[in-house]
Amino acid sequence: MSNHQIVNSAVHRDLRVLSGHGAALGDAVMACLTFPAEFRRVQGHFPIVFRRDLASGTFAVWALFGFEDGENLFLQGDAWDAPCKPLAQAIQPFLIGRGTGDTAQVHIDMDHPRVTGGGDAGVRLFDQDGQPSPYLESIAEMLGDLDQGHRDSPAFLAAIDRHGLLEPFSLDVPLDDGSRHSLVGFHAVNEQRLAALDAAALGELNAAGHLLPLYMAVASLGRFGDLIARKNRRVAGG
């Protein structure tokens, strides 16, 4: 069972959160969810791909960090080798909860490895007077952005699905040591179908704010070259 609690100063006055990077802190993941509003920032570093949930039939969007489960090629020991993290990864161990009237609340997963109860390690959530620390205020702002992103995503995904802009793809990754890896089960934006849309369809997508994220998703596929280079360095021990 998850141990999620609403963050408040009475209970969490002395709580600290480890804000660094590392496999032991939950960063050893192949991918994390992303959303259209952050595609411009994410596309410069991570491939953006789509995956259909077989049970619901709906798509979700992912920023890729590696080629297999548990592999994060941007994690170098206790360092994150990229200028940014997608919000869904950056806000851990926090998450959005809902109060009365669908009011957003800051929750924390008390069982997450980043949570530490005492000592000097980690960043405080509250100061000595019980006021939110700058760190907690920044987390609340990021959670607000993440919440809005999740709310906006269904319309974006429905629009690109309606226009048939997604196609399944597989990627064969031959490495310098002679081994091969395959990436399967994902979809990507079909650039040719996007370019072939008529003026009415493009106008509809643009008016809804969907066109720029689509181009950003297409541009992000160029990051696969960097991901393969990182894989080769990892295999070679670099």
pLDDT of 101 strictly over 80:
no
Exposed, middle or buried: residue 136 (CB in 10 Å: 0-12, 13-18, 19+)? buried
The span from the CA of 206 to the CA of 30, in Å, is: 31
Tally of CB atoms within 10 A around 56: 8
pLDDT at position 174 is 83
pLDDT of 51 strictly over 80:
yes
pLDDT at position 177 is 84
The highest-confidence range among 42-51, 123-132, 175-184, by mean pLDDT, is 42-51
Give this prediction's pTM: 0.92
The percent of residues above 90 in pLDDT, for the chain, comes to 75
pLDDT of 117 strictly over 70:
no
Beta carbons of 216 and 56 less than 8 angstroms apart: no
The span from the CA of 236 to the CA of 238, in Å, is: 6
- The residue-averaged pLDDT of 94-120 equals 84
- The residue-averaged pLDDT of 55-66 equals 92
pLDDT at position 180 is 85
pLDDT of 40 strictly over 90:
yes
Residue 54 pLDDT class (50, 70, 90 cuts) = confident
For residue range 188-219, what is the model confidence (pLDDT) as tens digits?
A: 999 999 999 999 999 999 999 999 999 999 99
Beta carbons within 8 Å of 207's beta carbon, 6+ residues apart: none
Average pLDDT of the residues of the chain: 92
pLDDT at position 179 is 85
Higher-confidence residue of 40 and 99: namely 40
pLDDT at position 175 is 85
pLDDT at position 118 is 66
